[in-house]
Amino acid sequence: MEPRALSKGKKLVHLDLKGAPPRMSYLRELIHLFADLGANGILIEYEDMFPYDGELKVLQSKAHPPYSREEIISIQDIAHSRGLEIIPLVQTFGHLEFVLKHSTFEKLREVSHCLGTLNPHTNQGVTLVMEMLHQVMELHPKSSALHIGADEVYMLGEGKQSKEWLNNPGHNIHTLFLSYITNLTKRIRERYPNLSVIMWDDMLRGMSSETIKETDLVGLVQPMIWDYSPVLDVDNSIKLMEKYRLAGLSKQWIASSFKGSTTVYTCVTSTQRHVDNHLQWLRVASGLSPGIDLQGIALTGWQRYDHLSVLCELMPLSVHSLASCLQTLHHGSFTPEAQNKVMETLGTVDVGDTGSLSKGNACSYPGMKLAEVIVQLVALLESQELRHFESTMYVRGWFSPYHRQKKIVNPLIAQQIQKQAKMFVEAVEFKVQEVRQEMNLLYPDTTVEEWVAQHVSPVLKPLQDILNDVHTVMEDMGLSVNDC
């Protein structure tokens, strides 16, 4: 089936703040940019950047200060002034690492070695989640919807209480998940009767429509079906959404990706990969039956795979992808008109294709300079000469681990090795300084240090070790490389 433009429903940009939280000045610019690019809502996942209070104050980030209450109100004011609806996303079952990592709450884990999954059997756990939701919704009085996460609930059923519960007739992992979610959403409905509740769908996928229908979940939640693959199975996705419709869940969402779903450590976003993902979702939307009331799409932009993983692509490197994906949704494909709109709005060409963004005109997007220098740095770090320096003829032939251990070296070749390694290290360090300078304008210092430690230091270490070893061996031989 041919894709058609997504003419109705929300187009939410997912703002994942559990890594690289933007400075407020940059965040304000991003909100305006989302509106300029064609979004009409933001799905905000604060995690530890929310200013939790009271017993929950321990959840606040220690790496950098969380946003203040005033700043969160300011975020909403700016968004609403540009016609963007804010929908908070608060994890309530799985992916609670930022909560359950703390000793205060470790007894609420389903199993001790899984920091992400809440024990579904304790009243204290539900009370904790409800207090988190209350504090978030108190600061979002205009929000008409709340996303409760509930994806990837790892190790569910492995805890002692769960195993006892599962021994009862008619009980299984599916009904265990549904009983917790039903209990939670009923409490949310009692407290916020006009609030729509959204949840990720992956834990529902293996269930039959009858199993879902037999619970009281119908009418309480709206599933958000997510798939970030550029080759997602259109027919199976339609069948999955039809299954949810038959279960009584007619109001549904879909979730694509504009960044953060390629690999856990990707630095530079591939626009084409994400545009292809959106083209597939448009085919799905075009093939849905009239009984499915599609509420909209969330364009996810994960900053980490979970609370404890490394940083994915930073937002400045993904803006072109986001713009291209939003325009693809608007036009039904990435038409020349869509491409022109992207160029007109951003004043740039694709970071992933060129490594140089500027077109030389006055128009540019916030963070463009950072994107440019990161692309240049990554190209240097991934160059064959640097990556495989340890495998060069000189290093393998004259400065092998055996040579280093025995402290014997050909001084003439040691000089050549040192000269080349030093050239690479200095070139990288020069570019890193540019990255630091630009990144510090947009992100906290701790984010800058984390990004460099994760993406630069591991690549430079082998070269720096070689330089140190050359120096040590030459000294032990009573020589200096400079004397050669």
Query: What residues are labeled active site?
Result: 152
Tokens encoding 231: 């080759």
Sheet holding 196-200, edge to edge: 85-88, 41-45, 10-16, 293-301, 251-259, 222-226, 196-200, 145-147
Q: What is the 3-state secondary structure (H, E, C) of the chain?
A: CCCCCCCCCEEEEEEECCCCCCCHHHHHHHHHHHHHHCCCEEEEECHHHCCCCHHHHHHCCCCCCCCCHHHHHHHHHHHHHCCCEEEEECCCCCCCHHHHCCHHHHHHECCCCCCCCECCCCHHHHHHHHHHHHHHHHCCCCCCEEECCCCCCCCCCCCHHHHHHHCCCCCCHHHHHHHHHHHHHHHHHHHCCCCEEEEECHHHCCCCHHHHHCCCCCCCCEEEEECCCCCCCHHHHHHHHHHHHHCCCCEEEEEEEEECCCCCCCCCCCHHHHHHHHHHHHHHHHCCCCCCEEEEEEEEECCCCCCCCCCCCCHHHCHHHHHHHHHHHHHCCCCHHHHHHHHHHHCECCHHHHCCCECCCCCCCCCHHHHHHHHHHHHHHCCHHHHCHHHCHHHHHHCCHHHHHHCCCCHHHHHHHHHHHHHHHHHHHHHHHHHHHHHHHHCCHHHHHHHHHHHCHHHHHHHHHHHHHHHHHHHHCCCCHHHC
